[in-house]
Amino acid sequence: MRIVKLTEETKQNLLEDLLKRSPSNYGEYESIVAGIVDDVRARRDEAVFSYTEKFDHAKINAENIRVTEEEIREAYAQVDEKLLAVIRKSLVNIRSYHEKQKKYSWFDSQENGTLLGQKISAIQKVGVYVPGGKAVYPSSVLMNIVPAKVAGVERVIMTTPCNAEGKVNPNTLVAAHEAGADEVYKVGGAQAIAALAYGTESIPKVDKIVGPGNIFVALAKKAVFGFVSIDSIAGPSEILVLADETANPRYVAADLLSQAEHDEMASAILITTSQELAQKVSDEVDGFVKVLSRKEIIQKSLDNFGYILVADDMKTAIDAANEIASEHLEIVTANPFDVMTRIRNAGAIFIGENSSEPLGDYFAGPNHVLPTNGTAKFFSPLNVDDFMKKSSIVYYSREALQAVHKDIEQFAKAEQLTAHANSIHVRFEEEEDC
């Protein structure tokens, strides 16, 4: 990996480099995606079936687009029993973590005759998109469905690509069933997002769409946002390791590569105060790349977006980490909890050498759907709140309104909204006429 001295200039160059990976920078695909989205909105099922045959080489129709109970049973027969046991253990952890996030309605009544509050309700229908291209991610199935179910979503509708024979990956299907998906449809890509957003004869319209995907999926979510809600427009995966001279270089190298293997656009960055550690990590990375199964993807990722930055001191290193605002941040220092208190921007923070990033991906419980491309400065991980909505509650007795009605009328008149003022005034006009 390239080793660079961390300066203000190198930091700015890095930030500009990372931003190139944002889906917003792929305008050349937007017209293609817009065409697919508009076509699905107009032709509905007919367009979905056509695109599925074109892109996935599968003949799907109204009779076989929805996964059946029989197909689910077949999937269970194909899944390794040990993997099923792990999925169930992971589900317990994910559900337990997200149950602690749930919020409840509240009401506050006063003796003056007022009651204010907040009514919290679950979103009624949610669409979950699950990729099925370069890699299959049953872990993402759990991370997207479980918080929705914990929130109380009535209907979770999942879409995922099928193979040329019209079959969904069995691991994906079993994970969906275990997590509580209500329906699963065999459609992927931008056409799946459009179908969920607008509805077709076979696929119901949803209120919100969540889940990762390629650039076409990301741009389709961007295109339908506003007509439905979405979780985010996710960019490629990224990891930043913050380390000092006490870190184990072999561990650090292995953790960096855990994200670099996702795709050629993934980012893996080490910021360290130790030149010696920097060199050792670089050497370990070279050794690992030679033997790992996805070495071509890893090498391209490292060549494009892999960095080892050497900082003068820990404060400079932490400041840079906060500027980068990485999706995953590992802290491997002598006092990792102290460093953690100074981190403002990160999707997920992993503390200490035994808390490697894949622990969060698969098992610990916190959600692995995280903000990318620096958006951790203002976005949060996927959570139960993403599947709930809030309504304000207002109640005033006549006596309570009478005490303040002239204040409200004055405010409305100051904004030249006389109908607003009149709406309050008519309730007391008889009294004023007397």
What is the layout of strands, in order, in the sheet containing 106-109? 106-109, 114-122, 388-396
Phi first, then psi: give them for residue 124, nearest 5 degrees: -75, -45
CA distance 282 to 293: 19
- Closest to 4 in 3D by CA, of 22, 21, 23, 17: 17
Q: Is residue 328 annotated as a catalytic residue, yes or no? A: yes
- Using the CB atoms, write b or e for 333-349: b if 16+ within 10 Å: beebeebbeebebbbbb
Residue 410: count of CB within 10 angstroms of its CB: 10
Q: Is residue 327 annotated as a catalytic residue, yes or no? A: yes
Q: Are 360 and 366 in contact (CB under 8 A)?
A: yes
Task: Find the catalytic residue in 178, 327, 353, 409.
Answer: 327
| 129 three-state secondary structure | strand
CA distance 108 to 353: 47
Q: Are 159 and 195 in contact (CB under 8 A)?
A: yes
Widest Cα–Cα separation across the chain: 93
Q: Which two tokens stand for residue 36?
A: 């697919």
Q: Are 396 and 114 in contact (CB under 8 A)?
A: yes
Task: Find the catalytic residue in 98, 177, 262, 328.
Answer: 328
Q: Which two tokens stand for residue 7?
A: 């300066």
Point out the residues that are catalytic.
Answer: 327-328
